[in-house]
Chains A and B, each alone.
Chain A
C-alpha cells in the first residue's frame, strides 16, 4: 500500500525485476579457487585466529573429506552436482582486511554501497533502534551501535571479533547446537566459515534495540559461509533480524550458513529473516543455492525461541530452522512464508524436538508457488518419552498461482509420550475468482487485488515481524511476483 513505510532499496539497475542486483565496485582480496587444508589454514590466518579455532576448522574439514563430497539428496530439490573445487572460499573487500575499528574507518565507498541498498550503516541515517552488522562476501564491515549495546552489557559483534575478544563464550557455545558433524553443509561451513554475527545478552537484560545482520554476496563465484551464534543468558531477551541479497550472476552461488541459538532459563530469542538472495532469471539461470542449517536450543526452563522467516529469494532454498525444547515449559515457534516463482525451488520447514516437560511448539508455514516453481514444506515434530504434556500445533497452508507450479507437504510426526497433544491443519488454495472480482468491483486493479489476497494469506506471519520488516516483506512479495499475477 502506498501508505506503508518501506525501507527503500533503490538501485541503478533499470529494467530488471531483481532490484538488488548491482555489484559493489571495490577491490577485493580473493583466495584461489577450490578447497583443501591450505585454504582452511589461509582463512584462519587471514582472520588472525587462535590455534583452537584452526584446530576446530581442521577437524571439520577432515570430517567433510570423509563424507566424500556426498551432498544430501533427500530434499525435494534438483540441481546439477556442485563442484566444490570450483568455488572461492574467501573473499574480502581489500580495504577492510583488518576490519574497521569504528564506523569512521569504514570505507566511504562501502558506506555508499550500503546506503544504496537502504542499509543504514551511518548511525544518523539509522533505522530507529536497529543495530546493524553488515557482512559483504565473507567479512563483517561494520557493526553499528556497539557502544550503546555495550552499556547495556550486550555483546554484538562479528564472529571474527568474538573469536578474538570473547573466546570463552565462543568456545563454550560454538558447535554446541549444530556440531560440525551435523550435516554435509554444516560440516563444510565449520571448516571454511569466514564471518557472521555474534551476540551475547547477559542475565536479566532486555536488549534495548533490534539487532540486524545484513548479508550480501558480491564477489563472482564466491561461496558465502557465515556463522551466527546468539546466546540469551538467564531472563534475557533479544530480537534479531537478518536480511540477505546478492547481485545478479549467470552462475549459481553457494550460500551455506549455520546459525545457532541458545536460550537459558526464562530467556527469549526472536529471530527474523528476510531472505532475498538472487533467485535466478525467468528461465532458471543463475541464482543462489541457499543451504542453511539453523537451530536453536531452548536449554533453560521457561525459555523461548521463535523463528520467523520470509523466504522469497534463492534459486534453491534448503533450510529447516529448528528448536530443541530441552528446558521444562520451554516454547518453540516457527512462522514461515516461502514464496517461489519461475523455476525457484524451496524445501523448507522446521523441526521441533520436545524433551522437557510441558513444552509447547507452534508451526505456521505458508507456501506460495507461482510460475514453474516447486515448494515443499518439510516438518518434523518429535515428542521424546521425557516430554510429558507436550503440545504441538502445526498449520500448513499453500497458495497456488497458475497451474504449472507445485506445493508439497511432508510432515514427520513421532510421538513417544502418550500425554502429548498434537494438532495439525493443512490447506491448499488458489487465489479465488470471486475474491478478485469483488476487489475489482471496488475499483482495485486485478494486479493489486492479487497482491492484497496474497498479503492477506501471509498476514499471520507478517504480523510476527518487526514493523520495518513487515512493510519490506510485503514489498518483497510484490517484487518477487511481478509478472506472475494480474
Chain B
C-alpha cells in the first residue's frame, strides 16, 4: 500500500468473514472487505467467481443464505431481517445502491412513475420533504442529460425494450437520483460500446466524492481507465485472493486470472482487505 492510499475515512461498509450459500452450494467462502468514505474499490474476477453474489447479498437478495460472518453499514448490522438486520428497502434507503448486472424489466410500470416512487420513498425515509412534480421533473431532466437518456424513454415501461446500453445508463440514472452513500456497480461496463462506457464513467465520476464510496465490479480493466480505483481486489472461487492498488488491475490485464490463481496458494491475507477487519 502506498502513502496515497492511507485510509483515514470513516468505514462505510465492513464485511467480516462472510460465507454465503445458495441451497447446498457454498459460493462465498470467507470475504473480508472494508470500504471507507471517499474510496473506490474495484472487484475483479473470472465469471462465476461470486462477484454478483457478493453485491446481491449486501443488497439483501433473499435467496442467498449467509452461513457465517458479519456485515456492517455505517457501523450497523444489516444482515438478517429487522429488528436484527435490515430488509432490502431499508438498506437502499440507508444509502446502499446496487446497479444490477442484469437490470429487470417491469411490464406496464412507467419509468417515470418508478423513479418518482423510488425517490419519494427514499426521501421520506431520510426525512427530506417530498419533491413536487415540477421539482422532480427538473431534477430528472438534469440527470437524464448527464447520462444522455432521451426523455421519451422514461415514458416507457421500466427497461422494457431498452437496449443493453440504455439499461445500464438507466441504472446510473437511478444512482444519481437516489444519491446513495455506497454505490455497487455490478458489471455496469460490460456490453457497452466506447461512447456508452464514457457516459457511464462520467456519471460515476460525477457521483464520486469524499462522502461517497464506490464498489466497481468488473472483469475488464477497461473502465478503470476512466474511473481510477484506490483498491483492486481479485475474487476467485468465492475468496479474495489478492488485493492491491490500481497497478494490480494492469497486471491482471497482462497476465490473466491464471496468474492470481497460481500465485494464490498461500492463504488470502492481503493487506488492503485486512484493514479495519
At the interface, yes or no: B174 with Cβ under 8 Å from chain A? Answer: yes
A100 to chain B, nearest CB (A): 41
Q: Which residues of A contact B (CB under 8 A)?
A: 1-3, 432-435, 437-446, 448, 452-453, 455-460
Count of chain B residues near A, Cβ 8 A: 35
Q: Which residues of B contact A445 (CB under 8 A)?
A: 89, 121
Q: How far is the CA of A445 from the CA of B107 in the complex (A)?
A: 18
B98/A441 in contact, CB under 8 A:
yes
At the interface, yes or no: B220 with Cβ under 8 Å from chain A? Answer: no
One of B88, B97, B157 near A456 (C-beta < 8 A)? B157
B87/A440 in contact, CB under 8 A:
yes
**Interface-centre pick from A432, A444, A446 (highest chain B CB count, 10 A):** A444
Q: How far is the CA of A434 from the CA of B104 in the complex (A)?
A: 7
Q: Which residues of A contact B105 (CB under 8 A)?
A: 435
At the interface, yes or no: B114 with Cβ under 8 Å from chain A? Answer: yes
Q: How far is the CA of A446 from the CA of B59 in the complex (A)?
A: 14
Q: Which residues of B contact A456 (CB under 8 A)?
A: 106-109, 157
Q: Which residues of A contact B100 (CB under 8 A)?
A: 438, 441
Q: Which residues of A contact B168 (CB under 8 A)?
A: none
Given A444-B89, A448-B117, A448-B121, residue A438 in contact with residue B104 (CB < 8 A): yes
Q: Which residues of B contact A (CB under 8 A)?
A: 59-63, 87-89, 92-93, 97-98, 100, 103-110, 113-114, 116-118, 120-122, 125, 130, 133, 157, 174, 178
B103/A433 in contact, CB under 8 A:
no
Q: Which residues of A contact B60 (CB under 8 A)?
A: 437, 440-441
B113/A443 in contact, CB under 8 A:
no
Complex A-B: 19 CB contacts under 8 Å: A1-B116, A3-B116, A432-B104, A437-B62, A438-B100, A439-B118, A440-B87, A440-B88, A440-B92, A441-B100, A443-B122, A444-B121, A448-B117, A452-B109, A452-B117, A453-B106, A456-B108, A457-B108, A459-B108
Q: Which residues of A contact B121 (CB under 8 A)?
A: 442-445, 448
Q: Which residues of A contact B98 (CB under 8 A)?
A: 441
Q: How far is the CA of A452 from the CA of B130 in the complex (A)?
A: 19
One of B63, B88, B89, B133 near A3 (C-beta < 8 A)? B133
One of B61, B62, B87, B113 near A1 (C-beta < 8 A)? B113
Given A437-B59, A438-B103, A441-B97, list of 4 further CB < 8 A pairs?
A: A2-B120, A435-B106, A444-B117, A446-B89
Given A1-B116, A448-B121, A456-B157, residue A443 in contact with residue B104 (CB < 8 A): no
A437/B61 in contact, CB under 8 A:
yes
A254 to chain B, nearest CB (A): 35
Q: Which residues of A contact B113 (CB under 8 A)?
A: 1, 452
Q: Which residues of A contact B133 (CB under 8 A)?
A: 3
A18 to chain B, nearest CB (A): 26
A67 to chain B, nearest CB (A): 43
A443/B89 in contact, CB under 8 A:
yes
